[in-house]
Structure 1
Amino acid sequence: MENAARIAEGLARAAREINASHDLEATLDSIVHTAVGALPGIDHAGISVAHRNGKVETRAGTGQLVWELDALQYTLREGPCAHAIDIEPVTVANELRHDGRWPNYVPRALRMGVRAQIGLRLYVEEKTLGGLNLYSVEADIIDPDVVHTAELFASHAALALGRARRENELSEAIGTRKVIGQAIGMVMERYEIDEGRAFQFLVRVSTTSNIKLRDIAQEIIDTSNTTYARRTHVRSTADPSGLDRIR
């Protein structure tokens, strides 16, 4: 009963701490550290993010062991982490030394001191966001109550991660619109054309060069800023007093 109360308290604390973070990186860091603090028997935790191209990369971890073993599993496509993302959403590996499911991964994990492990898929509305990877170096068996609580924890983590990713994408989208809008204004002024033609000009350059529209816009802004800075420097060198600029 005491252990159950401790787990419940840890889960509640983890939910509060995770949802207090609004920055993506802060959210990831909060997830892994609160996992270790809230789940008895878990010594290390890592969280990975699945990209649209199929690549999975670890973005936060509580130690070097996490970074190395997460990367190994995604490279080999073996181990509880990869298994959870590809096949079984909750993958438990108790007494890892006797687990024959991953012959290439297990020996290396054992050499690094891992004795038991849990891999949990993070998903929202059937969309896979990544994985929560939990490692034990002190115990061979992870308590079934801890596994159940880890599932609840993963649900909180998935919601928080989904929210953070949406906010991050929205922030990037707003930044992109601002950059493109500024570049359109520069093109309009330079070529004395209207907004629609200026936008089509950028699209045509982007398509022809196979470079993202935002990058084209940023290059135009950077070039304009560099040119302005160079001209200002030349004027100030020719007229240190600045009198010519105010006559």
Structure 2
Amino acid sequence: MPFSPADFRLAEALTVAARQLHEQTGPQATLRNAVRLAVHLVPGADHAGIVTVDRDLVLTSVTWSDDVARSAQELTGMPGHRAFREQLWAAPVATLADTTGTNGPGQSLSVLGVRAVLALRLRTDRNRLTALVLFGGKPDGHDETSLRIGRMLAAHISVAHDSATVQEQLTEAMRTRDLIGQATGLLMAREGVDAAEAFDHLVRASQQQNIKLRELAQRYVDAAARPRDA
């Protein structure tokens, strides 16, 4: 199958976008960069945002490219746009082709200059989905090319976000392990017990005080770092 120069340019642009997404320092930074890339790459996308929608169809804004996108996301979470959110749960793509109907629920969106909406699912679990939402200034402004590029970009965003999330979790796990190790060492020195006994002491104290083990360990470390009163 022959490729046109436009196909090669698109492939190159998506390669650059994927690299930029994976270079971010955490999940939130990845998503902030994603909305900027969406506006830059997807035809008809003048503004972009990322939202979550739970099983009760409650929409929460995660990030946005600008104030218009933020306001538009808030409006799509209103009761008048329930059908749009239902559509997103039923299929990986949801659209509002023209928001200017005189009695339509999208009328308030048109006040913002938003005339078309395209939402693409990034990920779904049992209770919540995450979606990239593209807002355009022209009715029917998202064509097949918009959908094609948007879906490819959404796939890259999803992979990059999952990777950043796993990396953040691993980093946090390492920090927690080191923190608990420090607290255990402090208890060993103070109480004259071995590592197992010191750890058991931490666990029992955590349960008795009803706080997380990491938080309790942080208290021990912070207390040891404070200078003693003269």
Task: Give the TM-score normalised by structure 2.
Answer: 0.81
Decide whether the 8 Å contact of 2:88 with 2:94 is kept in 1: no
Which digits, 9 at most, give the CA deviation of each residue in 1:28-62, with x for residues without a partner?
Answer: 222111111111110111124689xx986434321
Q: Aligned-pair distance for 1:141? A: 2.8
Q: Tell me whether 1:191 sits opposite 2:194 in the alignment.
A: no
- Flag the 1:68–1:195 CA change in 2: closer, same or farther, 3 A: farther
SS in 2 for 1:145: helix
Aligned residues: 225
Decide whether the 8 Å contact of 1:74 with 1:81 is kept in 2: no
- Flag the 1:135–1:18 CA change in 2: closer, same or farther, 3 A: same
Structure 2 unpaired stretches of 5+: none
Which digits, 9 at most, give the CA deviation of each residue in 1:157-201, with x for residues without a partner?
Answer: 100111011111111111111111111111222222211121111
Name the CA distance, whole Å, in 2 between partners of 1:123 and 1:135.
Answer: 20
Q: Aligned-pair distance for 1:2? A: 7.8
Name the CA distance, whole Å, in 2 between partners of 1:75 and 1:188.
Answer: 56
SS in 2 for 1:142: coil
Hey, what does 1:108 align to over in structure 2?
A: 108
2:96 counterpart letter in structure 1 = A
Name the CA distance, whole Å, in 1 between partners of 2:225 and 2:171.
Answer: 24
Name the CA distance, whole Å, in 1 between partners of 2:7 and 2:212.
Answer: 52
Q: Tell me whether 1:20 sits opposite 2:50 in the alignment.
A: no
Name the CA distance, whole Å, in 2 between partners of 1:56 and 1:205.
Answer: 39
Q: Tell me whether 1:136 sits opposite 2:125 in the alignment.
A: no
1:150 counterpart letter in structure 2 = G
Q: Aligned-pair distance for 1:8? A: 4.6
Hey, what does 2:36 align to over in structure 1?
A: 33
Structure 1 unpaired stretches of 5+: 235-247
Q: Mapping of 1:138-217 within 5 angstroms? A: 138-217=138-217
Task: Give the TM-score normalised by structure 1.
Answer: 0.76
SS in 2 for 1:148: helix
Q: Aligned-pair distance for 1:128? A: 6.5
Hey, what does 1:58 align to over in structure 2?
A: 61
Q: Tell me whether 1:70 sits opposite 2:73 in the alignment.
A: yes
- Flag the 1:55–1:98 CA change in 2: closer, same or farther, 3 A: closer
Q: Tell me whether 1:87 sits opposite 2:95 in the alignment.
A: no
Q: Aligned-pair distance for 1:82? A: 3.8
Name the CA distance, whole Å, in 2 between partners of 1:36 and 1:158.
Answer: 17
Name the CA distance, whole Å, in 2 between partners of 1:99 and 1:189.
Answer: 75
Q: Aligned-pair distance for 1:152? A: 1.2
Name the CA distance, whole Å, in 2 between partners of 1:80 and 1:40.
Answer: 25
- Flag the 1:124–1:112 CA change in 2: closer, same or farther, 3 A: closer
Q: Aligned-pair distance for 1:119? A: 1.0
Q: Aligned-pair distance for 1:65? A: 2.1
SS in 2 for 1:41: coil
1:119 counterpart letter in structure 2 = A
Q: Aligned-pair distance for 1:135? A: 0.8
2:93 counterpart letter in structure 1 = V
What is the Cα-based RMSD across aligned positions, in Å? Answer: 3.3
Which protein is bigger by CA-based radius of gyration?
Answer: 1
1:20 counterpart letter in structure 2 = E
